[in-house]
Structure 1
Amino acid sequence: MRRIPVLATVLAAWTLAGPVVAPAQAVAPTPKPSGAASPSGPLLSITVDDGRTAVAAGDELTYRVTVRNLGTAKVAGIKVSQSLPSGLALISADRGGKARDGAVNWAVDLKVGEESTFTTKARVGETPKDLLRLATVACASAKDGVKPLVCATHSDLLPAGAVVPATKGAGTSWLWYAGAAVALLVLGAAAFVLVRRYRQRRVVPAHARSATERADSPDRMAGAVSAD
């Protein structure tokens, strides 16, 4: 029965070794350029960033969209666009950018290895209470192209996103620890009870053995006399 406490210890260790949910951190990933190549089209890369990771209503943001020609030939008439999601109001756009259909649009020519940057200023308005991030998408397409050749995104954490994940993570973590502690106590108590019962059944007290021997002595003597 030495296996019982060992088994209880193994089960308790397994219970405590489960994943611990840590509170989410309000950290936005660093924007990286994305590129797309086509056998019959240009090779471009694009990035979009506002230099921030979190925003709130009333904040004024400055976005920079950068497009680069990674190909081996000049590309003319590139269409560049940046989306204006709900809750983001355009203030201004440089280089003749025009807002239409929920996006700011530009046109540019790029030589081999050349890049061009476009800037927009926008203000954060009221957003849905359950919206966690405010995201914008920048795309570049070839002249007369329907589908974009390359796109990039950038998102900023909203107040709802900064509060809700941390609260959920902390609550889940505390519940997990509490459940593990209860499971450990139950396993320990069960092992203790089983070991005690086993010992009570197997171990006979010394005074009990003496009484038993005394009770058996007349029988043994009687047996000896009958045999004679």
Structure 2
Amino acid sequence: MRRIPVLATVLAAWALAGPAASSAQAAAPTPKPSASASPAGPLLSITVDDGRTEVAAGDELTYRLTVRNLGTAQVSDIKVSQSLPAGLTFVSADRGGKARDGAVTWATDLKVGQESTFTTVARVGETPKDLLRLATVACATAKGGTKPLVCATHSDLLPAGAVAPAAEDTGISWLWSAGAAVALLIVGLGAFVQLRRYRRRRVLPAHAHSAGRPTENTDRMAGAVSLD
């Protein structure tokens, strides 16, 4: 029976630690836009950001793309592009950027160590109800190339994405609450069993002692028999 309190302690610790782990997980920050470079061809880096983390229909977003030449030689006629996903409507672009086939494109030359910045303005429209984030991708491609040399992404939370974590947390909280209730039930059961055993230890010796001694009535009957 000693295993019951030990098991209850483990379950209680699990039930209490669960919500904290869930909260820590829910509070983790969204990764920032990243950039990487391909070892083949010109060595470039690129970033894209709109200064936002959450958006909704009707919002006007200003994206800023920055491309930098990290290599040791000048690169010419680099194609810079940004995707326009469903739900994002093109408004304008600087430096002669053109919107076509779901993307905005520019052409630029970069000296060694030089960087160029491009800006896109787009408006958030109606998005699918189950779409959680609005993401865009920026890439830089060498002249005549088919594969990008480098790409970066940026995404913003949509209203559906803001509601989804709350629903998930509710489900997790219910699970941990149920676990805590089971743990408390086992603790109570273990305490009840231990109490019963303790009471039996106190009562049984008294009974045994009484059973070993004849009662007053037994003594009288024994005397009456001896007189006859």
- TM-score bracket for the superposition, by shorter chain length: 0.7 to 0.9
Secondary structure at 1:91 match in 2: strand
Contact 1:36 1:45 in 2 (8 A): no
Q: Deviations over 1:91-126 (max 9, x none)?
A: 111111111211111111110001111111111100
Query: How many angstroms apart in 2 are the aligned matches of 1:86 and 1:10?
Result: 52
When normalised by structure 2's length, the TM-score is: 0.83
Matches within 5 A, 1:209-228: 209-215=208-214
Provide the residue aligned with 1:160 in structure 2: 160
Query: How many angstroms apart in 2 are the aligned matches of 1:185 and 1:25?
Result: 29
Provide the residue aligned with 2:55 in structure 1: 55
Question: Shift in Å at residue 32 of structure 1?
Answer: 3.3
For structure 1, the 5+ residue unaligned runs are 219-228
Question: Shift in Å at residue 79 of structure 1?
Answer: 0.8
For 1:35, which of 33, 37, 53 is the aligned residue? 37
Question: Percent identity, aligned pairs only?
Answer: 59
Secondary structure at 2:53 match in 1: coil
Give the AA of the match of 1:34: S
Provide the residue aligned with 1:92 in structure 2: 92
Query: How many angstroms apart in 2 are the aligned matches of 1:5 and 1:151?
Result: 57
Secondary structure at 2:185 match in 1: helix
Give the AA of the match of 2:54: A
When normalised by structure 1's length, the TM-score is: 0.83
**For this pair of structures, how many residues does the alignment match?**
213
Matches within 5 A, 1:96-115: 96-115=96-115
Query: How many angstroms apart in 2 are the aligned matches of 1:27 and 1:166?
Result: 16
For structure 2, the 5+ residue unaligned runs are 219-228
Query: How many angstroms apart in 1 are the aligned matches of 2:206 and 2:32?
Result: 80
Contact 2:5 2:186 in 1 (8 A): no
Q: Which has the higher helix share?
A: 2
Secondary structure at 1:131 match in 2: coil
Larger CA deviation: 184-193 vs 201-210: 201-210
